[in-house]
């Protein structure tokens, strides 16, 4: 029997997923869903997400895999001035952090986390403003999904109404055909005595 934790991680559209830590095997409906998931995770932990490298299909150019990481990934490179002198360096936000997730498009049509690096090499800070912003995005997303679900239900109801009307027409048409067949059979039965009488008259004449 599947435990509750495993069943929750496989359904990434559930609102409880905002409390789940990334791990290999979690599935998403789209690349954007994976991005939202890691962005929410980054805000809760206290770092800024960065959309990083991707791998594209050689046939049609569509994205097959994507990496999301920390904005402190890599190292800052010095920029030389117009005459070769080095500009006054700005405070670097890069610290070579390797925290990231790698998501890949699966044959099933889902996007799956294939790699997760949890550790950061810098302090994590969560501000109340970022936490509120994350909550607002979550509520907004839930509202959007609720509206979409409501519209889908209305569309299904309209389709069902049309299907019921069509089924009623088919049923009425079938009843009409059945009545016509019954009338034909009854007419044939009425002609049977006449045919027998005609056949006897022919035999008597012979």
> What DSSP letter does each residue of 109-142 carry, written as one string?
S-EEEEEEE---SS-----HHHHHHHHHHHHHHH
Element (H, E) at 163: helix 128-205
DSSP 3-state assignment of 96?
A: coil
**Per-residue confidence in pLDDT tens, the chain, 206 aa:** 444 344 334 444 443 444 578 989 999 999 999 999 998 888 888 888 888 889 998 888 889 999 999 988 866 655 554 455 555 555 556 678 989 999 999 988 999 999 999 899 888 876 655 555 555 566 667 777 877 888 888 888 888 888 888 888 888 888 888 888 888 888 777 777 777 777 777 777 76
CA 73/CA 76 separation, integer angstroms: 9
Residue 87's pLDDT is what? 53
Q: C-alpha 63: how far from its chain's center? A: 16
Give yes or no for a contact between 66 and 54, defined as CB atoms under 8 angstroms apart: yes
Residue 201's pLDDT is what? 74
DSSP state of 74: S
- The token pair that represents 91 in the structure block: 């405070």
Q: C-alpha 153: how far from its chain's center? A: 16
């Amino acid at each position: 029997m599947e435990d509750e934790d495993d069943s929750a991680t496989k359904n990434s559209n559930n609102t409880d997923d905002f409390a789940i830590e990334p791990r290999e095997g979690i599935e998403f409906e789209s690349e954007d869903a994976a991005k939202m998931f890691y962005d929410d995770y980054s805000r809760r932990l206290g770092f800024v997400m960065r959309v990083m490298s991707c791998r594209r299909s050689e046939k049609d150019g569509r994205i097959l895999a994507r990496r999301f990481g920390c904005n402190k990934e890599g190292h800052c490179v010095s920029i030389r001035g117009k005459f070769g002198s080095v500009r006054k360096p700005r405070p670097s936000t890069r610290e070579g952090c390797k925290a990231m997730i790698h998501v890949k498009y699966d044959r099933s049509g889902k996007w799956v986390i294939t790699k997760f690096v949890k550790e950061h090499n810098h302090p994590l800070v969560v501000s109340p403003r970022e936490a509120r912003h994350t909550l607002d995005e979550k509520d907004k997303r839930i509202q959007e999904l609720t509206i979409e679900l409501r519209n889908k239900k209305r569309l299904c109801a309209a389709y069902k109404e049309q299907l019921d009307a069509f089924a009623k027409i088919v049923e009425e048409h079938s009843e009409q055909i059945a009545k016509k067949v019954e009338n034909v059979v009854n007419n044939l039965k009425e002609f049977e005595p006449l045919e027998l009488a005609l056949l006897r008259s022919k035999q008597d004449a012979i």
